[in-house]
Chain A
Amino acid sequence: MENSLLSLLIWLPIFSGVLVIFIGNNRANTARWVSVIISILVFMMSLSLYTGFDSSTHLMQFVEKASWISQFNIHYHIGVDGISMPLIILTTFSTILVIMAGWEIITKRCAHYMAAFLMMEGLIIGVFSSLDAILFYAFWEASLIPMLLIIGIWGGDNRVYASIKFFLYTFLGSVFMLVSFIYMYNKGGSFSILDMHNLELILAEQNYIFWAFFMAFAVKVPMFPVHTWLPDAHVQAPTGGSVILAAIMLKMGGYGFFRFSLPITPDASLEFSEIIIVLSLIAIVYIGFVALVQRDMKKLIAYSSISHMGFVTLGVFTLFLAYEPDAIEGALLGLEGAMVQMISHGFISIALFLAVGVLYDRLHSREISTYGGVINSMPKFTGFAVLFAMANAGLPGTSGFVGEFMVILGAIQANIWYGVLAASTLIVGATYTLWMVKRVFWGAVTNPAVTTLKDINARELSILAILAVAVLVMGLYPQPVIELMHASIEYLLHQALTSKL
């Protein structure tokens, strides 16, 4: 069991998903209970990744390796380091919440809904733990399938358009990644990601591979200007779909930059770092303003996600400018800040989307103008929502602050103007978040339906409470998480700064 923990984490949810399909929609309650028990079980097991993890080394742990396609020297090779392990736990954590959040709301084909999320959990854990490029690609693409169905079956009015746009956008991005994997295999004779890290590549090759990777990961993050699928997908997706999309799937893009772009194409990353930084800053500032004018709450949070994910790419690529030989702390700050930001944004986006879901379930509207004075009828809920809004705005003491602060510090070391622009998000972000809070929760009740709202029930309360604890713990004491990833990040920094030329 100790040796096959990762495999279990991948395949248990997938096979349970198949089982839940066979339980069928007619026995929805059984399906719900089985799903939630499985997801809790998987979360418990993923915690033993944390307890058994040795944070003093950058080497891969919990490694499993078996021959899979010997024709191409492809292995079933999985393992985790300090970068992927927190993301896996984030995945198992959010799956529980998603399944609980869909408990009463999903009445249409309930078992299939639960099954889709369980399978997606397994596939995404596969993405984060693959150490073989083709295995990675297989999980990466396969995870699109459940998401496509989730948006398309349980989504809003324009769901078909949104789901197909989502699929084709990401599919187009990733095929170029496949071409570069094959190119590197033909050159180095191995699909192992770790071998690719050490593959000698001249600058021209690195440039092409860098942009191929960029297409795949930037679409996923998503970065400006390839972000246009995200607002559509988020608005149309059911609450659970939005949560997984924002909390986990976007992180797959960020993870890609960590695992592939920096170590495999360090010189190209250096060469193009300014372009990526500019794109990230556009995402942070411009998309922040776009979020300001949204009238749909989900769309607002979707744009705010793009803006916050801009910090991840900013943090990753400022390392090249912030680096000084005798003070690597500046570069480390950016990278670690990006990682912290990914995890924190995971928590906050789950919370915000679930909060919108709570309102949507009651009044079936996401329009900000429908609401107003919600605090009068839902005081408990308002308390949580305001906390999460504050976290989204980056209030110190919440998780939203830590990552952004670290990235901004790194950016200032790189270039004071980058830091200033990035820091402007603290104003813009606060503006759009707090203005939304004002219009939805405070003020006079304009819509009579708002007075009839029932406050959150025990199930909703417990979900939001868990998230509130997570947001505060990450905000007040992020040290354990940072320590966890420190060795891996330091090694990554070393890889990114070692020229392959």
Chain B
Amino acid sequence: MNNIIEFDTSSLWIALPEIFLLSAIVVILLLDLFLDKRFKQITYYLTWLSLLITGILAFNLINHPQTIIFGGSFVLDNMASVFKVFMMGATMVAMVYSRHYLRAHSLFRGEYFVLVLLSVLGMMVMISGYSLLTLYLGLEILSLSLYALIAIARERADAIEAALKYFVLGAIASGLLLYGMSMIYGISGSLNISDIASFASNSNLAPRETLIINFGLVFLVIGIAFKLGAVPFHMWVPDVYQGAPTSVTLFISTVPKIAAVAMLVRILVDGLGSMHAYWSDLFMVLSILSIALGSVVALMQTNIKRMLAYSTISHVGFIMLGFVTGTLTGYGAATFYMLVYVLMSLAAFGMIILLNKQGFEVDQISDFKGLSKHAPWFALMMLIIMLSMAGVPPLAGFYSKFFILQQVISAGFITVAVIAVIFAVISAYYYLQIIKSMYFDETDKDITIHASIDMQLVLSINALLILAVGLFPDFWMKLALSLF
């Protein structure tokens, strides 16, 4: 095994987006230190600009043949590039929404943006990680930034509680993941994904070796399930979603899911794809539990952030269901679902943020009462988002469920598909509750919208994109499939 890291400067440009982003972070961090309070907006614009440039750099690397650099610890392939571009777009949108929230609650600080950029860098490393160590490194950069981000509202007790809870549970998850990695490393003798893949696919593995791989596999799956928030490793999700400032919840519920799916693909598909028969059963149980629990428990929530947390758990169940099938199309379906989920979740939390006003925190379903009267346009947008999450055609959320169901049925799991659709109907009830609040209930509160025009515009485009993807899903499905 060749473990010497050869360093070739000509290969550096493969990692150009990451390198650029890191430099940008350093510049913004230093600049923010010296900026007068009046010019703090500059940090925001610079953040936005660096995300844009990173996105363009990543976009230019699409269709680049698969290249592995840095001694086999960093990979560039189509999945990495497309995920990165998508991640930049999602983060940019999230930043637009965040700005409104941060202003309304006097949380506008330079650190917020630097921490977001750092977590994005961590996620980029996760997406391109091709050795267990790189993946873990990326994960920790992400997690540490997120802990701090949640606690950024430091005078709020529930935010601190959420941060602490996330920190403790996240540390346990990282520990489990690391333990699983050490198992795999111990038996295969390499941290490199491709080495692990060739070791695991070896047909004459000794029973002892298979046993140890399986042992490590279980811990890896638990670690990944923790990060995705699948039942029964979901305990942190509702508390963190509810406690964190809404703009941070928005971020946590969207972009890191892309990275988590990427890590899942790297470890379980690229690395241990040959062990699919072993981990797919685990995934089956996790996903059915997630869909069921996420759908049922959400019914009882009155806090919309907590409700969306449970809804996320159920969506994660659907994403994992795509990996159960063990076919490339199935993985593509899961990726498509993930992309659509990110789009919907961005818009849903964006709507919550939109209703925030100076010093007024919106987090109850009842805060949406009478919206259709006071802001009919945004009520319509929320209607689209909620129906899409419920899986009603012709919205994007329907096709993502459809694609997963099609794969699950073609893999022969018809009962699973029936269970999934029944819970999808149950979950429709709580999405309808929000529509009911907006359209059927009256309120005497003043719920006029006080957001800047860019926020309103981006949110409208975001929601209409859900409809557009629903009407013409072909391109996005093909894109998701082309990554595998």
Residues on A close to B: CB < 8 A? Answer: 21, 68-72, 112, 134, 137-138, 141-142, 144-145, 148-149, 152-153, 159-160, 163-164, 167-168, 171-172, 175-176, 178-179, 182-183, 185-186
Contact = CB atoms under 8 A, between A and B. Distances in A.
A145 B424 contact: no
B275 to A, nearest CB: 26
A475 B320 CA distance: 58
B29 interface: no
Contact of B387 (A145, A152, A160): A145
Nearest to B424: A175
29 contacts: A21-B380, A68-B474, A69-B473, A71-B474, A141-B393, A141-B398, A142-B392, A145-B383, A145-B387, A148-B432, A149-B439, A152-B439, A159-B440, A160-B440, A164-B429, A164-B432, A164-B436, A167-B428, A168-B428, A171-B428, A172-B425, A175-B422, A179-B405, A179-B409, A182-B402, A183-B409, A185-B406, A186-B406, A186-B409
Contact of B439 (A68, A70, A138, A153): A153
Nearest to A112: B376
Contacts of A182: 402, 405-406, 409, 417
B453 to A, nearest CB: 19
B468 interface: no
Chain A contact residues, majority secondary structure: helix
Given A137-B393, A159-B440, A168-B429, A178 B421 contact: yes
B473 to A, nearest CB: 6
B410 interface: yes
Contacts of A144: 392
Given A142-B393, A164-B432, A179-B417, 18 more contacts: A69-B399, A70-B478, A72-B406, A112-B376, A134-B402, A138-B398, A148-B432, A159-B440, A168-B428, A168-B432, A176-B418, A178-B421, A179-B409, A182-B405, A182-B406, A182-B417, A183-B414, A186-B409
Contacts of B440: 152-153, 159-160, 163
B149 to A, nearest CB: 37
B384 to A, nearest CB: 10
A161 B448 CA distance: 28
B436 A171 contact: no
B481 interface: yes
A144 B418 CA distance: 21
Contacts of A167: 428, 432
Given A167-B432, A175-B425, A138 B394 contact: yes
B477 interface: yes
Contacts of A176: 418, 421
Nearest to B480: A71
B318 to A, nearest CB: 14
Contacts of A178: 402, 405, 421
A492 B439 CA distance: 43
B478 A71 contact: yes
B75 to A, nearest CB: 27
Interface in B376-393: 376, 380, 383, 387, 392-393
The 3 residue pairs across chains A and B that have the minimum distance between CB atoms:
A138-B393, A175-B421, A186-B410
A207 to B, nearest CB: 13
A36 B383 CA distance: 26
Contacts of A160: 436, 440
Contacts of B421: 175-176, 178-179
A171 B477 contact: no
Contacts of A69: 399, 473-474, 477
Contacts of A145: 383, 387, 392
Contacts of A171: 392, 425, 428
Contacts of B406: 72, 182, 185-186
A163 B438 CA distance: 14
Nearest to A140: B393
Interface in B465-484: 473-474, 477-478, 481
